[in-house]
Structure 1
Amino acid sequence: MSKTPWINVTTLGDLLLQAAEHYPATDAIVFPEERVNYRDLAERALAHARSLRALGVAPGDHVGLLMPTCMDFPELFFGISLCGAVAVPINARYQSAELAYVIGNADLVAVITTSRVNDHVNFVERLTGAFPELADGPDPVALALATAPQLRRLVLLGPDQAPGFLPEDDFRARAETIAHEEIMEIRSRVRLRDPALMLYTSGTTANPKGCPITHEAMVRNSIALGRHRYQLTAEDRFWSPLPMFHIAAILPMVSIFDVGGTYLTMAHFDAGVALGMLEGEQVTATYPCFVTIMADLIKHPDFEKTDLSRIRLMNSNFAVQPDWIREAMLKAMPDTVYVGTFGMTETAGTVCTSRLDDPLAARTSRLGVPLPGLEVRIIDPASGDEMPTGARGEILVRGYSLFEGYYKDPAKTAEALDAEGWYHTGDIGSLDREGQIMFYGRLKDMLKVGGENVAAAEIEAFLAGHPAVKLAQVVGVPDERLQEVAAAFIELETGEEVTEQALIDYCKGQIAGFKVPRHVRFVREWPMSTSKIQKFRLRDGLIEELGLKQAG
């Protein structure tokens, strides 16, 4: 008789304290240059909770984290949870205008940031650009900003000091004014359905939307994924290079903390450093999942000589990766169990993922089945009717991990959540006879070329097969005769050269004529949201360049 995957759930703060009690000396988090065990991580998180409480942060308050992936992040993330507040990780790529919007929209009462990272990343400059009053040197614990009236405190970690920011030494010293028992009392009153964090998701809209995620959703989903579906244990060492402000980093981190294993990450992805970690730290499970990361690992000169034999599990998403990536990984790590995954911020991460005993063909051509407690449907987005097995339609999700609405945006919430509790993802997918899901792209990424429906993802996948192409993104632009035609944006491999016409010729005769891009542009840097390329910016720029009229 198989083991029952019991529903076990707690708060984020208690999850860390339990790990510290059972696995005090085990490495909790490892960076290339530093590491911390569970005992010390819990102590640091509790100290931060006391400092936050001393600054007047109350249960339910929203506290922003604006920093790169670093050891301070998890210490503060769990510290915020332990004092009953809501952590709001902010995309470290955001510039002043975006920061002004998110900080005001999220009703943050405090923001904790870090000193200058390098010549290109200076959060103090960005925040001062967002709120020019900071240059006048206001009291950093009694701010009164016109465009962010809830924001009362700014904390600056690191050696730098700046007008309007509370220095790190002062922040840490305030912990001494709050008793440990006060935090433990607050911690005990946190409810499972209280919001634990709020992440902002952008996608294709101009302003990002806040997604509150409860303790139950975050912790229960992490347990369902790690302990039950992936069978992680305290012996596992789980590596993910994704930024900590992203749900795809928070989810594996909480998953491995639940079982007392080790989470490994890095401040900035570097394929050479990553390969060194994978071998030297004896990593057993990985969460690379994005094509750019997989490609950089494979193409690094150290890839073939790196010992990756200890990796038993990889979240590879081969179903949506170019064929050459799958072939290279299978050759390098033939004994690894590769799994696919489908999920999003609004569902606290993973909705579907492969079972470890699924056939290899299913694990590499599909994205898995729903986690227990989650449901998936495929509907015709126009009629709302259920689609037959194998047919494409909009993916709907329902279950315990769903967010309960976009923060302060009832209109967007009404569009996304229906009366029966189904979340309309806006993703195109299908379910096969075994209930395995496949993802084909976004509804908004469907092109209408001369009456033919075309998925941008199909053209992107074909272009990715060209040896000079590192990454392809396809959008639709207006066309007088066909209504809309495909336009391809291409990032080339380092050192490769190819002309626009050569790529168009590459498509001709290989894919249907109506799918062949009419325009090709080369890109060195992509306009990004948290984790997605903002296609609307690519499209708008090309429409302006070509002097076309926007549809509608």
Structure 2
Amino acid sequence: MTEPSDRVTAAGAETAATMLAQAASAWPDTTAVIVDDERLTWSELYTEARLWARALRAAGVAPGAHVGVLMPNCMDYVRLFYAAGMIGAVTLTINARFKDDDLAYAVHHSDMDVLFIGGHALPHMDFRAMLTRIYPDLHIWAGGPLDLEEAPRLRAVFNLGDPRETVWPTRDDFLAGADRVDEARIDALMRATSPDDHALMMYSSGTTAHPKACMITHRTLSMIGASFAERFGLTPDDSVMNPLPFFHMSTMLPMAACRASGATQICTAHFEPARTLRQMEEERVSFGYLSFPTLVNQVIQHPDFKTRDLSALRFLHTVGPADLMEKYTRAFDGAQYINAYGLTEATGVCCYTDPNDPPAEATQVSGRVFDGVLAKAVDPVTGKDCSPVERGEIWIGGFCLFDGYYKDPDKTAETLVDGGKWLRTGDMGYVSGDGHITYDGRLKDMLKIGGENVAALEIETYLCAHPDIQIAQVIGVEDDHLFEVAAAYVELVPGASLTPEDVVDHCIGQIASYKIPRYVRIVSEWPMSTTKIQKFKLPRDFSRDEKIDPKSRL
């Protein structure tokens, strides 16, 4: 393992709030963050975060309290995150796509003390209506101390940015309390907050059970942000286009990198490719952190794409099958493609392409772990370390590990092993001697076809090589003959026309016959979680009439 640089090590002694204070001192007039058409400089953001911190204390939020945030992306979200960190509280970022059951679980399980909801995206997101469905007592709540049997620690709900609100406490009500707390109290709380205190509680997606609450400290968040800034040479002259949600580590990590470097992060409440392209040109965006094909496709297929000046773009980050990524490298001429590997439990992304690596490797290799991070592949059956040419479960170690799952010691012990030194990711891949990771599918995203283990990713990668296929997702479906066969969901590029039989024909003679999908459905929409496709929600209700026998196509 290569040790982290002095810059990264120094960041580990800081909290998000103290790093914000340093950024405000070093780059006071540089834009810190843009959310749609609202922007704040580093000094403005620091000043406003202090005001919100005073308001939190006036609302009874103490160090260690859990502050829930259920909002679309907005500047208030940013203010709340930094304000909570200033007083030693933990920000609980709640997935805005949660349905009633998951939200009720998160409110109760997290021991939430206060909840902030936002009406910023009405009528598309109505969190007030959701809460009153879950907790009927809120229908008659008039803003006093809460006493909900289902959420015993929850004492208040503030409804920000909702013009309809006349009963629950609003943004103005919340901020009115700031006058009761002096600035010296915030300074004292900032000094008392340790880098090893929790900065974030973030629920990661579950497939069959409720999501798990990952606890992330200020130290790991600050160090991984500084590592990101260092790897890509970010400075106050850089700007990062990041349209992903604030409840996702794919936004929290680049935000940490920006406060470590003075760069600007550009965000949006609702992704619109036309606005994204306009801002990329006007703000001279140097890092396109678009992350997922679902977003990149909208950008490059928009009529404005060929007319916008994107010459300032140095890096484009997204992940997906190699053939699709190669298409993106051709579309964004002049920008270096950045691959990555990570997960919430590793404080987001702990492994990115190194700009010094050969560019051709980027579409094939996920990247190299940050200095100070360990990686190895382990045989999931024997537990023995794999050689660089052997496929195994990816294990991660070093400074980036999360602090465990909240109130779930058993699952934490299953995930953080060998005395907490290693994180079992549940992902499969290859790890070179110098820490380069090649992701190769989920450990549990495997098909058992006729006794052969087949990675769904292998079939997906081949399908995406077809010029008319934009996205492919493969799942296993029970089969009388082979025990399990592949079923492919396919989204076509705009204007393309393929039948399920055409997709099967594309595979015949090119991949092993048992890997060829027996079922194919052409789709235009996906079950989504944030910007990721929730594969486990894809229907498995295939009828015998839909089955395609490759032999019959010869």
TM-score interval for Structure 1 and Structure 2 normalised by the shorter chain:
over 0.9
Please say if residues 140 and 152 of structure 1, whose CA atoms lie closer than 8 Å, have aligned partners that are also in contact. no
Specify the alignment match of 2:549 in structure 1: none
State the alpha-carbon separation in 1 of the partners of residues 544 and 409 from structure 2. Answer: 37
Decide whether aligned partners of structure 1 residues 494 and 203 sit closer, same or farther in structure 2, where only a CA change above 3 A counts. farther
Deviations along 1:151-199, one digit per CA (max 9) or x if unpaired, are: 1110011243547731221111011111111111111100111100111
> For 2:417, what is the secondary structure of its paired residue?
coil
> For 1:361, what is the secondary structure of its paired residue?
helix
Deviations along 1:9-41, one digit per CA (max 9) or x if unpaired, are: 200011111111221111111234121111111
Deviations along 1:288-325, one digit per CA (max 9) or x if unpaired, are: 121112222222222222211111223244xx335254
Specify the alignment match of 2:551 in structure 1: none
Specify the alignment match of 1:346 in structure 2: 345
Q: Mind listing any 5+ residue stretches in structure 1 that lack a counterpart?
A: 548-552
> For 1:87, what is the secondary structure of its paired residue?
strand
State the alpha-carbon separation in 1 of the partners of residues 300 and 528 from structure 2. Answer: 23
Q: Displacement of 1:543 after TM fit?
A: 4.4
The size of the alignment, in residue pairs, is: 539
Please say if residues 201 and 530 of structure 1, whose CA atoms lie closer than 8 Å, have aligned partners that are also in contact. no
| TM-score between both structures, scaled by the size of structure 1 | 0.93
Specify the alignment match of 2:430 in structure 1: 430
> For 2:113, what is the secondary structure of its paired residue?
strand
1:296 maps to a residue whose letter is Q
Specify the alignment match of 1:184 in structure 2: 187
Decide whether aligned partners of structure 1 residues 18 and 116 sit closer, same or farther in structure 2, where only a CA change above 3 A counts. closer
Specify the alignment match of 2:63 in structure 1: 59
Are 2:106 and 1:105 equivalent residues in the alignment? Answer: no
Are 2:414 and 1:411 equivalent residues in the alignment? Answer: no
1:112-131 to 2 correspondence within 5 Å?
A: 112-115=116-119, 117-131=121-135
1:506 maps to a residue whose letter is H
Please say if residues 206 and 212 of structure 2, whose CA atoms lie closer than 8 Å, have aligned partners that are also in contact. no
2:261 maps to a residue whose letter is V
Please say if residues 134 and 163 of structure 1, whose CA atoms lie closer than 8 Å, have aligned partners that are also in contact. no
Decide whether aligned partners of structure 1 residues 357 and 141 sit closer, same or farther in structure 2, where only a CA change above 3 A counts. farther
Please say if residues 295 and 325 of structure 1, whose CA atoms lie closer than 8 Å, have aligned partners that are also in contact. no
Specify the alignment match of 2:394 in structure 1: 395
Specify the alignment match of 1:135 in structure 2: 139
1:39-118 to 2 correspondence within 5 Å?
A: 39-115=43-119, 117-118=121-122
Specify the alignment match of 2:361 in structure 1: 362
Decide whether aligned partners of structure 1 residues 88 and 180 sit closer, same or farther in structure 2, where only a CA change above 3 A counts. same
> For 2:209, what is the secondary structure of its paired residue?
coil
Q: Displacement of 1:5 after TM fit?
A: 4.2
Please say if residues 304 and 332 of structure 1, whose CA atoms lie closer than 8 Å, have aligned partners that are also in contact. no
Please say if residues 225 and 253 of structure 2, whose CA atoms lie closer than 8 Å, have aligned partners that are also in contact. yes
State the alpha-carbon separation in 2 of the partners of residues 415 and 543 from structure 1. Answer: 33
2:377 maps to a residue whose letter is I
2:312 maps to a residue whose letter is R
Q: Displacement of 1:43 after TM fit?
A: 1.4
Specify the alignment match of 1:201 in structure 2: 204
Q: Displacement of 1:286 after TM fit?
A: 2.1
> For 1:234, what is the secondary structure of its paired residue?
coil
Are 2:237 and 1:235 equivalent residues in the alignment? Answer: yes
State the alpha-carbon separation in 2 of the partners of residues 362 and 499 from structure 1. Answer: 33
Decide whether aligned partners of structure 1 residues 54 and 231 sit closer, same or farther in structure 2, where only a CA change above 3 A counts. same
> For 1:74, what is the secondary structure of its paired residue?
helix
Deviations along 1:378-428, one digit per CA (max 9) or x if unpaired, are: 011011111121221100001112112111112221221113421100001
State the alpha-carbon separation in 2 of the partners of residues 519 and 260 from structure 1. Answer: 50
Q: Displacement of 1:544 after TM fit?
A: 8.2
Are 2:273 and 1:271 equivalent residues in the alignment? Answer: yes
State the alpha-carbon separation in 2 of the partners of residues 260 and 233 from structure 1. Answer: 6
1:309 maps to a residue whose letter is S
Q: Displacement of 1:118 after TM fit?
A: 3.2
Specify the alignment match of 1:550 in structure 2: none
1:443 maps to a residue whose letter is L
State the alpha-carbon separation in 2 of the partners of residues 266 and 82 from structure 1. Answer: 25
Specify the alignment match of 1:297 in structure 2: 299
> For 2:385, what is the secondary structure of its paired residue?
coil
State the alpha-carbon separation in 2 of the partners of residues 364 and 416 from structure 1. Answer: 29
Please say if residues 237 and 263 of structure 2, whose CA atoms lie closer than 8 Å, have aligned partners that are also in contact. yes
> For 1:364, what is the secondary structure of its paired residue?
coil
Please say if residues 322 and 363 of structure 2, whose CA atoms lie closer than 8 Å, have aligned partners that are also in contact. no
Decide whether aligned partners of structure 1 residues 70 and 24 sit closer, same or farther in structure 2, where only a CA change above 3 A counts. same
Are 2:253 and 1:251 equivalent residues in the alignment? Answer: yes
For structure 1, which segment, 492-501 or 445-454, has the greater mean C-alpha deviation from structure 2 after superposition? Answer: 492-501
Q: Displacement of 1:521 after TM fit?
A: 2.5
Specify the alignment match of 1:34 in structure 2: 38
Specify the alignment match of 1:535 in structure 2: 535
State the alpha-carbon separation in 2 of the partners of residues 466 and 213 from structure 1. Answer: 41
State the alpha-carbon separation in 2 of the partners of residues 399 and 376 from structure 1. Answer: 9
State the alpha-carbon separation in 2 of the partners of residues 185 and 460 from structure 1. Answer: 54
State the alpha-carbon separation in 1 of the partners of residues 352 and 527 from structure 2. Answer: 29
Specify the alignment match of 2:10 in structure 1: 8
For structure 1, which segment, 419-428 or 375-384, has the greater mean C-alpha deviation from structure 2 after superposition? Answer: 419-428
| TM-score between both structures, scaled by the size of structure 2 | 0.93
Specify the alignment match of 1:505 in structure 2: 505
Please say if residues 203 and 532 of structure 1, whose CA atoms lie closer than 8 Å, have aligned partners that are also in contact. no
RMSD of the TM alignment (CA)?
2.1
Specify the alignment match of 1:25 in structure 2: 29
Please say if residues 397 and 423 of structure 1, whose CA atoms lie closer than 8 Å, have aligned partners that are also in contact. yes
Deviations along 1:203-254, one digit per CA (max 9) or x if unpaired, are: 423311000100001011100111x211111211121111111101111111
Decide whether aligned partners of structure 1 residues 223 and 328 sit closer, same or farther in structure 2, where only a CA change above 3 A counts. closer
1:225 maps to a residue whose letter is F
Identity %: 40
Specify the alignment match of 1:175 in structure 2: 178
State the alpha-carbon separation in 1 of the partners of residues 204 and 130 from structure 2. Answer: 20
Please say if residues 289 and 318 of structure 2, whose CA atoms lie closer than 8 Å, have aligned partners that are also in contact. yes
Are 2:224 and 1:225 equivalent residues in the alignment? Answer: no
> For 2:123, what is the secondary structure of its paired residue?
coil
State the alpha-carbon separation in 2 of the partners of residues 347 and 435 from structure 1. Answer: 15
> For 2:362, what is the secondary structure of its paired residue?
helix
Decide whether aligned partners of structure 1 residues 338 and 498 sit closer, same or farther in structure 2, where only a CA change above 3 A counts. closer
Decide whether aligned partners of structure 1 residues 363 and 463 sit closer, same or farther in structure 2, where only a CA change above 3 A counts. closer
Are 2:170 and 1:154 equivalent residues in the alignment? Answer: no
State the alpha-carbon separation in 1 of the partners of residues 48 and 296 from structure 2. Answer: 34
Deviations along 1:524-550, one digit per CA (max 9) or x if unpaired, are: 432233443222222xx3148779xxx
Deviations along 1:120-173, one digit per CA (max 9) or x if unpaired, are: 31111111122121112x243511112111111100112435477312211110
For structure 1, which segment, 154-163 or 6-15, has the greater mean C-alpha deviation from structure 2 after superposition? Answer: 154-163
Decide whether aligned partners of structure 1 residues 510 and 489 sit closer, same or farther in structure 2, where only a CA change above 3 A counts. same
Q: Displacement of 1:86 after TM fit?
A: 0.2
Q: Mind listing any 5+ residue stretches in structure 2 that lack a counterpart?
A: 546-554
Deviations along 1:408-449, one digit per CA (max 9) or x if unpaired, are: 112221221113421100001102465421101111111110
State the alpha-carbon separation in 1 of the partners of residues 87 and 531 from structure 2. Answer: 29
For structure 1, which segment, 242-251 or 114-123, has the greater mean C-alpha deviation from structure 2 after superposition? Answer: 114-123
> For 2:91, what is the secondary structure of its paired residue?
strand
State the alpha-carbon separation in 2 of the partners of residues 131 and 431 from structure 1. Answer: 48
State the alpha-carbon separation in 2 of the partners of residues 82 and 415 from structure 1. Answer: 33
Please say if residues 325 and 363 of structure 2, whose CA atoms lie closer than 8 Å, have aligned partners that are also in contact. no
Decide whether aligned partners of structure 1 residues 469 and 195 sit closer, same or farther in structure 2, where only a CA change above 3 A counts. same
